[in-house]
Amino acid sequence: MTAPFLVECTKPQDLAIHAAEGYTVAGLQRALYMGPDGLKASGLAAVARGLEHSGPGWAYLGWLAQLPVLRQLLQLLLDGMGGGPRQLPTAKET
């Protein structure tokens, strides 16, 4: 199960999900969230922000995952399970 699938299955409102390979941000290594107000989040925080666009239960789960100590612990756990940063070719390199 991938992060985009996790967020998509919650039927988010006002959220566009794009593949990282087609994005033009240099050095993109993790999931990236860019809010309408310019807010940027990466990794687990990006997935948590994506969950905020779903129902109240999912939004609450996303909010909990963003608590400072818990977010760092969960990101470390995900990195250890193979969900760490990776180099992806951008659209310009392909």
Stronger pLDDT, 6 or 10, i.e. the higher one: 10
Mean pLDDT of 9-28: 74
Task: Determine if residue 11 is left, alpha or beta; phi over 0 gives left, psi from -120 to 50 gives alpha, anything else beta.
Answer: left
Q: pLDDT averaged over the chain?
A: 79
Round the CA-based radius of gyration of the chain to a whole number and report it. 13
What confidence tens digit (pLDDT) does each residue in 39-70 have?
Answer: 888 888 888 888 888 888 988 999 999 998 99
Where are the strands (E) in the chain, listed by range?
32-34, 40-42
Half-sphere exposure (CA, 13 Å, Cβ side) for 37?
3
51 contacts 92 by C-beta, under 8 angstroms: no
Q: What is the pTM of this model?
A: 0.71
Range name among 2-11, 13-22, 53-62 with the lowest pLDDT average: 2-11
- Beta-bridged to residue 14, according to DSSP, are none
Give the tokens for residue 70. Answer: 């818990």
